[in-house]
């Protein structure tokens, strides 16, 4: 656990980057620091591994005051990932990953073996091992950055906008893999981002900072979306927060209708329906077709792929989105194996939402964050 | 041509002497420029005095420097040390700035992540900053090498043997063979120096050719 206790960073010119920050980053969880530029989130992060020294207050790591630890030793026990990865351009991917184990005195062979395992773990082809960072795409570099941070198996990871510099598709991939990895590893992670959507998606708890380095609110993502403490937070978490909060609500039992399906290559000319769902031989949905517009058999060219597919066990947001995005207005629901279980209409999902309680999670207050007392927002 | 063939031994000896007089200061200069360039980068207030100060050295005429050297360091007038020290100063004049520039060109994100991973400042310098500065330092070193080979011939004036003696020999006898041999010798020596630096640079920077980038 990382604990900030009344931490302030004031620069000689009088600027206050971080103002009396108190918060806890619990062991094995992801704590996201989010806020507009100038809110001191990166400064706060860097005070943990003492890249920046606090002016006052203490930061403890599992109860030990970081000020009493040797800088280099403290840092070798903390993984660090930054935007653009900050890889060493003069070292191969393999050597980059092995940096901290080598600093800790692990022998070369052992380090290389471990580095290869890690490359695989972060989803990078072993063929990249002998390449240099400049020969990799931004997304691949970022994977190497994560592997390098994990190399010495540190209990703590600091991540400073690690996924901001890659395109949205790759970013989402990296985020999903990061969550999967964290599910296996259970590191204590402090993650900085300016993107509230990323914060909501990745954080076990989200700390919103305001300009001047003051903690505005710290809570679990669902709570933050449903109970912003003031206008700043309400503004910051965004307009469609009601919709986004559905990401955190399990889909209840929906009244599913059975759907007529056809296989690829079958004819649909005798079917009297506006839209028909096409499935593969495992009953997995492929897309919709409109029988009156299809001359011959169903081919991939005539498939309408606009509709999203939601898992029955997934969040409400996905179920609602499946209904809203479907050309037939019938949202496709599948089981965990991806096989069709039925369809649902938007109003049925909405009824289910209305019957669900708004998330009233346990009090997310942490000691020392008194200014962030929750109240139900009237907005 | 016959003069050259008749004097092969002498040409070889003077080439070696010239290589020593021009090469040793290059090595010493580089070794001194590394800490000085680092200081200039590390401590902001030192940057201007160090860079400007060493840069100014280059404006001192070599002739004057070689002649004055005994008075400054107490050597004999005909001691090769005068030339070695003088050329070391010229090397420093070129390299202190180059080293500072090279270290300054190392991307901030790379330095930050090295520090964050637990490199001590000294380890970081040798493992990260210096290797990444090699392409820039090498470019400066090549200029200094050619400059040293050229300036070393001025040592003729204080009677130190090297290829420059062929110039004065040729002039005084109005006989061009030694003159041409001296010039060609200097050019060849400069090319050899350049080639050696280039090869060493390549050996130290495999990533540059693999990626086609400088850093």
Tell the burial category of A376 from Cβ atoms under 10 Å away from its Cβ (0-12, 13-18, 19+): exposed
Q: Quote ipTM for the complex.
A: 0.82
The pLDDT-based confidence of A277 (bands split at 50, 70, 90) is very high
Per the structure, the complete domain to which residue B92 belongs is given by 2-211
Q: Using 50, 70 and 90 to split pLDDT, how confident is the model at A192? A: very high
Give the residue-averaged pLDDT of B185-211: 92
For the cut 60, the answer to whether the pLDDT of residue A370 exceeds it is no
- Quickly state the pLDDT bin for B158 (edges 50, 70, 90): confident
pLDDT of residue A360: 58
Render pLDDT for B100-119 as a digit per residue (tens, 0 to 9).
Answer: 999 999 999 999 999 999 99
> In this complex, is the C-beta atom of A105 within 8 Å of any C-beta atom belonging to chain B?
no
Residue A358: pLDDT band with limits 50, 70, 90 = low
Compute how many other C-beta atoms are within 10 angstroms of the C-beta atom of residue A64.
Answer: 11
Global confidence as pTM: 0.78
Is beta strand A156-160 parallel, antiparallel or unpaired with respect to A188-193? parallel
With tokens 């990444």, the residue in question is B132
Strand partners of residue A287: A278
Size of interface A-B (CB pairs under 8 A): 71
Please tell me the distance from the alpha carbon of residue A147 to that of residue A122, in angstroms, as a whole number. Answer: 6
CA distance A59 to A49: 10
What CATH number is associated with residue B75?
A: 1.10.3720.10
Across chain A, mean pLDDT equals 89
- The per-residue pLDDT for A25 is 96
- pLDDT over 50 (residue B192): yes
Beta carbons within 8 Å of B187's beta carbon, 6+ residues apart: none
Q: Which of A120-134, A198-212, A348-362, B172-186 has the lowest mean pLDDT?
A: A348-362
* pLDDT tens digits for range B42-65: 898 999 999 999 988 888 888 888
Give A101's contacts in chain B (Cβ within 8 Å).
none
Q: Which domains does chain A have, with CATH numbers?
A: 2-239+367-372 (3.40.50.300), 261-355 (3.10.580.10)
d(CA B114, CA A89): 12
pLDDT mean over A57-62: 96
pLDDT at A89 over 90: yes
Judging contacts by C-beta atoms under 8 Å, the chain A residues touching residue B131 are 90
C-beta of residue A22 within 8 angstroms of C-beta of residue A45: no
* A31 near B CB under 8 A: no
Contacts of A103 in chain B (CB under 8 A): 117-119, 123
pLDDT at residue A55 is higher than 60: yes
pLDDT of amino acid A361: 53
- Cβ neighbours of A267 (radius 10 Å): 13
- Is the pLDDT score of A372 beyond 60? no
- The 3-state DSSP class for residue A205 equals strand
Q: Are strands A30-34 and A205-210 parallel, antiparallel or unpaired?
A: parallel
The radius of gyration computed from the CA coordinates of chain B, to the nearest angstrom, equals 20
Nearest residue of B to residue A135, measured between CA atoms = B211
* Model pLDDT, residue A77: 93
Residue A327: band (very low, low, confident or very high) from pLDDT cuts 50, 70, 90? very high
Q: Which is higher by pLDDT, A171 or A192?
A: A192
Q: What is the pLDDT of residues B54-98, one digit of tens each?
A: 988 888 888 888 888 888 888 888 888 888 999 999 999 999 999
Contacts of A135 in chain B (CB under 8 A): 210-211
Residue A80 is inside which H or E element, if any? strand A78-82
User: Is the Cβ of A14 closer than 8 Å to some Cβ of chain B?
Assistant: no
Model confidence over A10-45: pLDDT tens digits?
A: 999 999 999 999 999 999 999 999 999 989 999 999
pLDDT at A374 over 80: no
Number of domains into which chain B is organized: 1
How sure is the predictor about A248, in pLDDT bands with cuts at 50, 70 and 90?
confident
For residue B38, pLDDT over 80 is answered with yes
- Partner B contacted by A102 (CB < 8 A): no
Closest Cβ opposite residue A90 in set B117, B118, B131: B131
Model pLDDT, residue A373:
41
Res A359: pLDDT: 57
Q: Is pLDDT at B25 greater than 90 in this prediction?
A: yes
Contact A134 B110 (CB under 8 A): no
């Amino acid at each position: 656990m990382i604990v900030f206790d009344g931490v302030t960073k004031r620069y000689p010119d009088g600027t206050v980057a971080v103002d009396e920050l108190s918060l806890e980053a619990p062991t094995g969880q992801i704590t996201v620091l989010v806020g507009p530029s100038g809110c001191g989130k990166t400064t706060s992060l860097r005070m943990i591994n003492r890249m920046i020294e606090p002016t006052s207050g203490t930061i403890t790591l599992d109860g030990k005051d970081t000020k009493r630890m040797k800088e280099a030793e403290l840092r070798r026990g903390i993984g660090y990932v930054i935007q653009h990865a900050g890889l060493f351009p003069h070292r191969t991917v393999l050597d980059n990953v092995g940096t901290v184990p080598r600093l800790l005195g692990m022998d070369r062979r052992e380090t290389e073996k471990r580095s290869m395992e890690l490359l695989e773990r972060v989803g990078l082809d072993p063929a990249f091992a002998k390449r240099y960072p400049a020969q990799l795409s931004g997304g691949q570099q970022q994977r190497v950055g994560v592997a390098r941070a994990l190399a010495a198996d540190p209990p703590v990871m600091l991540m400073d906008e690690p996924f901001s510099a890659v395109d949205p598709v790759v970013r989402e991939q990296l985020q999903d893999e990061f969550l999967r990895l964290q599910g296996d590893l259970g590191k204590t992670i402090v993650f900085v981002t300016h993107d509230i959507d990323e914060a909501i998606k990745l954080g076990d708890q989200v700390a919103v900072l305001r300009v001047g380095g003051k903690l505005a609110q710290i809570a679990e993502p669902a709570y933050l979306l449903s109970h912003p403490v003031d206008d700043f937070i309400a503004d910051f978490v965004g307009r469609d927060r009601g919709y986004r909060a559905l990401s955190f609500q399990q889909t209840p039992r929906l009244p599913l209708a059975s759907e007529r399906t056809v296989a690829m290559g079958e004819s649909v000319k005798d079917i009297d329906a506006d839209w028909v769902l096409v499935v593969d031989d495992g009953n997995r949905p492929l897309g919709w077709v409109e029988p009156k517009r299809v001359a011959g058999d169903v081919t991939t060219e005539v498939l309408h792929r606009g509709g999203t597919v939601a898992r029955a066990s997934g969040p409400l947001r996905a179920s609602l989105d499946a209904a809203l995005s479907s050309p037939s207005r019938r949202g496709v629901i599948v089981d965990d194996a991806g096989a069709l279980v039925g369809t649902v209409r938007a109003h049925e999902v909405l009824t289910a939402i209305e019957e669900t309680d708004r998330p009233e999670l346990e009090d997310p207050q942490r000691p020392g964050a008194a200014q962030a007392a929750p109240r139900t927002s009237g907005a | 041509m016959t003069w050259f063939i008749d004097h092969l031994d002498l040409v070889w000896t003077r080439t070696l002497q010239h290589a020593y007089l021009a090469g040793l200061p290059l090595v010493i200069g580089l070794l001194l420029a590394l800490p000085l360039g680092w200081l200039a980068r590390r401590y902001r207030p030192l940057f201007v005095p160090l860079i400007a100060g060493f840069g100014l050295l280059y404006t001192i005429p070599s002739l004057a420097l070689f002649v004055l050297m005994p008075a400054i360091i107490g050597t004999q007038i005909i001691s090769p040390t005068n030339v070695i020290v003088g050329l070391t100063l010229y090397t420093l004049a070129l390299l202190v700035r180059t080293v500072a520039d090279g270290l300054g060109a190392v991307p901030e994100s790379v330095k930050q992540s090295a520090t964050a991973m637990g490199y001590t400042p000294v380890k970081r310098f040798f493992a990260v900053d210096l290797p990444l500065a090699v392409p820039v330092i090498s470019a400066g070193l090549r200029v200094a090498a050619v400059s040293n080979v050229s300036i070393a011939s001025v040592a003729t004036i204080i009677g130190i043997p090297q290829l420059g003696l062929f110039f004065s020999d040729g002039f005084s006898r109005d006989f061009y063979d030694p003159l041409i041999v001296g010039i060609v010798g200097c050019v060849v020596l400069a090319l050899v120096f350049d080639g050696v630096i280039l090869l060493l640079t390549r050996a130290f920077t495999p990533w540059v050719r693999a990626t086609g980038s400088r850093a």
